[in-house]
Amino acid sequence: MDNVRDRGSEATKYRLARAMEECMRSQPVESVTVTNIAERCGVTRQTFYRNFLDKYDLINWYFGKLLERSFEHMGSGRTVAEGLERKFEYIRKERVFFTAAFRADGTNSLKEHDFEAIMDFYLKLIEKKTGAAPGEDIRFTLELYCRGSVAMTVKWVLGGMKEAPSEMSKRLVSALPENLKELFSRLSFL
């Protein structure tokens, strides 16, 4: 099935994603249909299905693109705090999409996708700095922290993003477990 999606152009995929985002401004994800998206985009349903399996596949693709950008912002920070603040600023900028996407549950959970991306980001960062994959204790703590971080990010987004990105960043950094604080300090992430 992935071969079907690969045939679509990147520009068409972005147009479909923007059409989906426009639909999400006025109705919940569950109510949006492929026909709604295609009509708003000015393409046929067949064009949609040449690019995506369903609306959730589209959402995951676009969410992945937005996460890539948010991690670029996060990775451009010198410290975890700076990176998180940049990520939250980016999420706030793309609030319509992130709010609707985090509300949707079930098929292709975006929360799980976000967790996997964040976990992978930190694992690669640690390995790049140390030259080795982290041990089981660090991996366990990192997974626990990343899952909590995603849950708090979702709560922040769905709560209207009242706290400033800098405040959210400070809170997540202060919540780092001791062994991660020690490791991140040693690696100059804090």
| DSSP assignment string, 100-113 | HHHH--STT-HHHH
Tell me, what amino acid is at 25?
Answer: R
Specify the length of the chain in residues: 190
Nearest CA to 56 out of 3, 8, 10, 17 is that of 17
pLDDT recorded at residue 53: 92
Nearest CA to 74 out of 182, 172, 175, 179 is that of 172
Q: Is the pLDDT of residue 1 over 50?
A: no
Q: Is the pLDDT of residue 163 over 90?
A: yes
Instruction: Give the pLDDT band (50/70/90) at residue 105.
Output: low
pLDDT tens digits, residue range 15-55?
A: 999 999 899 888 888 889 999 999 999 999 999 999 999 98
Nearest CA to 21 out of 54, 55, 72 is that of 55
What is the pLDDT of the chain when averaged over all its residues?
Answer: 86
Instruction: Give the pLDDT band (50/70/90) at residue 97.
Output: confident
Instruction: Give the pLDDT band (50/70/90) at residue 2.
Output: very low
Nearest CA to 74 out of 85, 66, 60 is that of 85
Distance CA 17, CA 71 (A): 19
Instruction: Outline where the chain has alpha helix (H).
Output: 2-6, 10-26, 34-41, 45-51, 55-75, 80-93, 95-103, 110-130, 136-158, 165-174, 178-186
CB of 13 within 8 A of CB of 51?
yes
Element containing residue 79 per DSSP (H, E): none
